Amino acid sequence: MAFVVSIAKTLRNHWKKSIFFTLAGGYGIKYGHDRYEEHLLRRVYCAEAKKYGDEKISLSEKPRKVTVFLNPATHSGKSRKLFEKNAAPILHLAGIEVDVVRTEYEGQVKKFISVLEEGETDAVIVAGGDGTLLEAVTGILRKEDRKFHKTPVGVIPLGNHNTFSRLFYGVDKGHVRMMVDAAMAVVKNVTKKVDVLKVDGGEGKTTFALCGMEIGAYRDAEARKSKYWYFGPLKSRWTHIRTAMKDWPPVVKANVSYVEATEENMKQVEEEEEKERKASWSFWRFLLRKKQVVQEAEQRDSMMKTTAEGEDENRVSGEISTLEISLMSPNMISEQELAGIHLEIGPEEPTRTQVISQGWQRMKRKAPRYGSDDNKQLLVKDVSIALDIPETQSEPIWYNIDGESFEAIPVRVSLLQKKLNFFCPVFEPTVNAS
């Protein structure tokens, strides 16, 4: 009893130290528990991958070979360690030949893919963040070899945001769970077709995105958030307050034209893309059916011209002044019956209170999303945007495309339905860790 009384007196006399060590101890226990759960999760996934590695193949078969584009600069330089700890063991245990290409500068992934031939790899794996994935998708779809477009793509999420991976693998999963899920998806070799946004800026400036694009006050606020690091955890809130304090109103002026999506015109797009895939060039097709191929091409060109003329009549155009413009692919919309680009146009004359409160609400979002439910919402087949930049504009204006900044030049955005094959998760572990 005297011992208990002594401890009680000590805690009372040194209550500040007692609270500190209690909190530190609780954090340490939780940290250790989480690391142990992650260790068990890796073991379960590795055991499952080993089953594939133990399977026998015939002498005529070759092991699967994948090319991994690893960006070692993502996640504050920790991406290589994360890949080797969480994803690489699963791929190797499954008997997959892994060729790792480490990138050294921006744009290198596109250059590597431009010289990569179809038979040299069975899949392209992107180990990095949003920017690395955007480069890989753009590099693949810029290739003239359309057969290469069918090459399965995997993504090991190693970045800070991982927008597409969170949509694809689940927003409620932890980082380690997403990485092992992504690696196991490659092992299981089950793919899913995903839509792609084609952002055409002309003169070879074409980018292909998986998520969307935005421009306006909230995009600019997110971009300069890191400048206010000295506010600590309040930097995001201060960023939106600062937006309401400078250069009011923070609107962009643009000429926007679009064609609203309907079941008829979106079905036409899907049929045209299917015919284009079937009409891919081959030696025998060229040798034996050259005349028929030419006739089919002329028919497609005539049909596309007729369709374009009809769309010009239904095209809606106008000058707008708005707080933001955002575009989202169907990949970002969980329930969308009709395929199309989700176009949102923000308010024309917002109040300062609205700007701040909306910015703070976006901080609480769990699922990645552009725009707001309060914006004007349209479902369009394609959209063209040309900004009206005043001569007095001192700072450059940028688009945010899949988390990366691009110069705000006039662009036309269209939807490529079910364009790429992505490895999708199908394995559910027995260990409950996230």
12-21, 52-61, 81-90, 148-157: segment of lowest average pLDDT: 12-21
**CB distance 371 to 322 below 8 Å:** no
pLDDT on residue 376: 92
Domain with CATH 2.60.200.40 in the chain: 212-264+316-417
**CB distance 196 to 413 below 8 Å:** no
- 212-264+316-417 folds as Tumour Suppressor Smad4 (2.60.200)
pLDDT on residue 420: 93
Residue 186 has which token pair? 């490659």
Q: What is the pLDDT of residues 211-244, one digit of tens each?
A: 999 999 999 888 888 888 888 888 989 998 888 8
Confidence band, pLDDT 50/70/90 cuts, at residue 99: very high
Q: What is the pLDDT of residues 159-183, one digit of tens each?
A: 888 889 888 888 878 889 999 999 9
Number of Cβ atoms within 10 Å of the Cβ of 120: 11
Answer with the residue of higher pLDDT: 25 or 201.
Answer: 201
Mean pLDDT of 251-266: 89
Q: What is the pLDDT of residues 130-139, one digit of tens each?
A: 999 999 999 9
Residue 357 has which token pair? 């409160």
Confidence band, pLDDT 50/70/90 cuts, at residue 69: very high
pLDDT on residue 270: 60
Confidence band, pLDDT 50/70/90 cuts, at residue 35: confident
Mean pLDDT of 370-379: 90
Answer with the residue of higher pLDDT: 247 or 36.
Answer: 36
Can you tell me which residue has the tokens 């999506």?
261
| 171 Cβ contact partners less than 8 Å away, ≥ 6 residues apart | 366, 367, 368
Tell me the average pLDDT of the chain.
84
Quote the CA–CA distance of 48 and 245 in Å, as a whole number: 55
Quote the CA–CA distance of 85 and 90 in Å, as a whole number: 9
Yes or no: domain 26-194 corresponds to CATH 3.30.420.40:
no
Quote the CA–CA distance of 296 and 304 in Å, as a whole number: 12
pLDDT on residue 284: 45
Domain with CATH 3.40.50.10330 in the chain: 26-194
Quote the CA–CA distance of 254 and 351 in Å, as a whole number: 20
Q: What is the pLDDT of residues 269-302, one digit of tens each?
A: 665 555 555 555 454 444 445 455 445 545 545 5
Quote the CA–CA distance of 80 and 72 in Å, as a whole number: 5
